[in-house]
Amino acid sequence: DGGITQSPKYLFRKEGQNVTLSCEQNLNHDAMYWYRQDPGQGLRLIYYSQIVNDFQKGDIAEGYSVSREKKESFPLTVTSAQKNPTAFYLCASSPMGMSNQPQHFGDGTRLSIL
């Protein structure tokens, strides 16, 4: 079955701690995205990558970092600089980046502060 796998489903962070959210896809898609969703809000773009070893900041990149060393993987690190990290994080992919192709989403990771 092709799809996007996000892990863990729930994650708790202590103050001052960095945490990394995993996103893996086996759809052979070139582009991958990270979104943050807060209650009553839409999806806000954190980072996106259109090709391996390249990524661009989205609208709310401050306090986050990413890497794209492999086509299948696009991990997101929530750093201690992100002062309000509690949110639902969604990873998505599409065959090509920033184009007219639909995005496929993972099941998301809910991050909370302890």
Partner 1 sequence: GQQVMQIPQYQHVQEGEDFTTYCNSSTTLSNIQWYKQRPGGHPVFLIQLVKSGEVKKQKRLTFQFGEAKKNSSLHITATQTTDVGTYFCAGYSTLTFGKGTMLLVSP
Residue closer to partner 1 by CB (options 65, 105) is 105
Question: Helix or strand or coil: residue 72?
Answer: coil
Q: Considering only 13-21, 62-70, 79-87, 93-101, which stretch makes contact with partner 1 by CB under 8 A?
A: 93-101
Burial class of residue 41, CB neighbours in 10 A (0-12, 13-18, 19+): exposed
2 binds partner 1 (CB under 8 A): no
CA distance linking residue 60 with residue 90, whole number of Å: 14
48 binds partner 1 (CB under 8 A): yes
CA distance linking residue 33 with residue 47, whole number of Å: 6
107 binds partner 1 (CB under 8 A): yes
What are the residues binding partner 1 (CB under 8 A)? 33, 35, 40-45, 48, 58-59, 90, 92, 98-100, 102-108
